[in-house]
């Protein structure tokens, strides 16, 4: 049965770090606890949270190689297929809004980033909910989500955010 779980319920099942990163330069104090607490975590195929060290490497590399990649943008997760989940460190909403970047769009310009209308904590809830859809009984013989499960998924997603993109 798919059911939205709270952020606290989701992270209890994730892999934790052995130790806090030594020289953490992450500037968002309201999200710093994520990097102090969590290791790399594959919540589901398209929602892979990056440890601080891996996120720092990605961000350093992409900021150096792509001038259009805003300095305030921070890659915090990947899909495993070259797409990224990003937050804007200048976004002073607490916690910051999640953007999705599809690598097929090529450059990192802001117009190529989809505002998901969820914050970073809600991103974990969404990832968990999507992971619950990985049940073969939910799909028909053509691998389409059965109507009942589709409606249930929509109801649960709307519990995360009414304006979800």
User: Per-residue pLDDT tens for 45-86?
Assistant: 999 999 999 999 999 999 999 889 999 999 999 998 889 999
Over range 143-163, report the average pLDDT: 74
Q: Is the predicted pLDDT of residue 19 greater than 70, yes or no?
A: yes
Q: pTM of this prediction?
A: 0.86
Stretch 96-102: mean pLDDT: 93
pLDDT band per the 50, 70, 90 thresholds, residue 107: confident
By CB neighbour count within 10 A (0-12 exposed, 13-18 middle, 19+ buried), where does 154 fall? exposed
The domain segmentation of the chain, as residue ranges, is 7-160
Tell whether domain 7-160 is in CATH 3.40.1580.10: yes
CA distances (Å), origin 124, targets 64, 143, 148: 28, 25, 24
The residues with which 38 forms a beta bridge, in sequence order, are: 16
Secondary element (H or E) of residue 41: strand 41-44
Residue 142: pLDDT band (50, 70, 90) is confident
Residue corresponding to tokens 């249930």: 152
Share of the chain above pLDDT 70, in %: 96
Separation of alpha carbons 75 and 83, rounded Å: 10
pLDDT given for residue 152 in this prediction? 77
Predicted local confidence at residue 47, as pLDDT: 95
pLDDT in the model for residue 165: 47
Mean of per-residue pLDDT scores for the chain: 87
């Amino acid at each position: 049965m798919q059911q939205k779980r709270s952020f606290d319920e989701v992270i209890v099942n994730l892999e934790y770090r052995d130790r806090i990163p030594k020289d953490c330069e992450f500037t968002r104090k309201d999200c710093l606890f994520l990097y102090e607490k969590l290791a790399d975590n594959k919540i589901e195929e398209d929602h892979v949270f990056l440890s601080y060290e891996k996120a720092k490497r990605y961000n350093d590399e992409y900021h150096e190689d792509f001038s259009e990649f805003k300095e305030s943008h921070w890659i915090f997760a990947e899909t495993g297929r070259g797409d990224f989940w990003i937050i804007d460190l200048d976004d002073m909403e607490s916690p910051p809004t999640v953007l999705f970047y599809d690598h097929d769009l090529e450059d990192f310009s802001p117009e190529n980033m989809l505002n998901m209308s969820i914050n970073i904590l809600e991103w974990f809830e969404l990832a968990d909910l999507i992971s619950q859809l990985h049940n073969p009984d939910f799909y028909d013989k053509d691998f389409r989500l059965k109507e009942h499960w589709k409606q249930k998924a929509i109801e649960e997603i709307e519990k995360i955010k009414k304006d979800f993109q």
